[in-house]
Amino acid sequence: MSRSAHVGLTLGEEGTPHRARAEPDLFGFWVFLMSDALLFALLFATYGAMLVGTAGGPGPRDLFELKPTLIETALLLTSSFTWGMASVALKYGDAKPRLLAWMGTTLVLGVAFLSMEVNDFATMFAKGAFPTRSGFLSAFFGLVPLHGLHVLAGCIWISVMAVQVVVIGTDERTKTNLLRLGLFWHFLDIIWIAIFSVVFLQGLAP
């Protein structure tokens, strides 16, 4: 297989010891991601059922703003690109500073996303939109902040892995952990696209 055949992390050819050790870990992580996807699916279903349950309080068109949500979406999608560049740097053995630079850029984008999201929630609270106000707001704050908590966990994970790269280097275990982290980060982007489409775009539709 040529070097350019796949841009993911190098786990070795079929039958190599590293690949044999990594495959059970990656399969288990895929199972975790699928269980997490089921959790989000239940929350999406709950949100859909509660969408009309405003109890006379503010609804989506009273609370949502498209511009900051578009910026947040751009930040997360860009972070997927920067993490992909980190994966390419690791695969082709680029200098460690380049790998760390791409990881750091991804981290900055993730923190910027979280900062904007916290500001959105504060603005909603200022309008009296608390989770206890209505079924709609309970469902909203059950879904969207949970994704934010996942992004926070991803940012912490990136920070830990950056330290591991500096202290330990890019050995087999580090590569496997970075691959799992990449799967997790891209999964969060997919969930956010669903949130952006189902919650914000639908909520602001005329």
pLDDT tens digits, residue range 77-86? 999 999 999 9
* 175 pLDDT tier (thresholds 50, 70, 90): confident
* Angle value at C-alpha 194, between 115 and 75, nearest 5 degrees: 35
Is residue 2, in this structure, part of any structural domain at all?
Answer: no
Is residue 59, in this structure, part of any structural domain at all?
Answer: yes
Q: What's the rounded mean pLDDT across residues 26-42?
A: 92
Domain that holds residue 101: 14-204
Cα–Cα separations (whole angstroms), residue 138 to 100, 117, 175: 39, 17, 40
CB neighbours (10 Å) of residue 155? 20
* Diameter over CA atoms, the chain: 62
Nearest Cα residue to 17 out of 147, 172, 186:
172
Q: Does pLDDT of 4 surpass 50?
A: no
> How many structural domains comprise the chain?
1
Give the whole-number percent of the chain exceeding pLDDT 90. 71
Q: Does pLDDT of 28 surpass 90?
A: no
Structure tokens at 103: 């990881």
Cα–Cα separations (whole angstroms), residue 84 to 72, 88, 132, 185, 187: 19, 6, 40, 10, 13
* 1 pLDDT tier (thresholds 50, 70, 90): very low
Q: Does pLDDT of 8 surpass 60?
A: no
* Residue 112 or 21, more confident: 112
The pLDDT score that the predictor gives to residue 169 is: 85
Q: Does pLDDT of 5 surpass 50?
A: no
Which residue matches tokens 């859909």? Answer: 48
Mean pLDDT across the chain, nearest whole number? Answer: 88
* Residue 113 or 30, more confident: 113
Instruction: Say which amino acid occupies 191.
Output: I
Is residue 196, in this structure, part of any structural domain at all?
Answer: yes
Lowest-confidence pick of 16-20, 98-102, 162-166: 16-20
Is residue 3, in this structure, part of any structural domain at all?
Answer: no
The pLDDT score that the predictor gives to residue 18 is: 56
| Domain containing residue 148: CATH number | 1.20.120.80
Is residue 6, in this structure, part of any structural domain at all?
Answer: no
Is residue 94, in this structure, part of any structural domain at all?
Answer: yes
User: Which of left, alpha, beta for 56 (phi over 0: left; psi -120 to 50: alpha)?
Assistant: left
Structure tokens at 152: 């926070």
Residue 201: DSSP 8-state: I
Is residue 1, in this structure, part of any structural domain at all?
Answer: no
Is residue 38, in this structure, part of any structural domain at all?
Answer: yes
The pLDDT score that the predictor gives to residue 17 is: 55
Lowest-confidence pick of 3-7, 69-73, 102-106, 182-186: 3-7
pLDDT tens figures, 106-119: 999 999 999 999 99
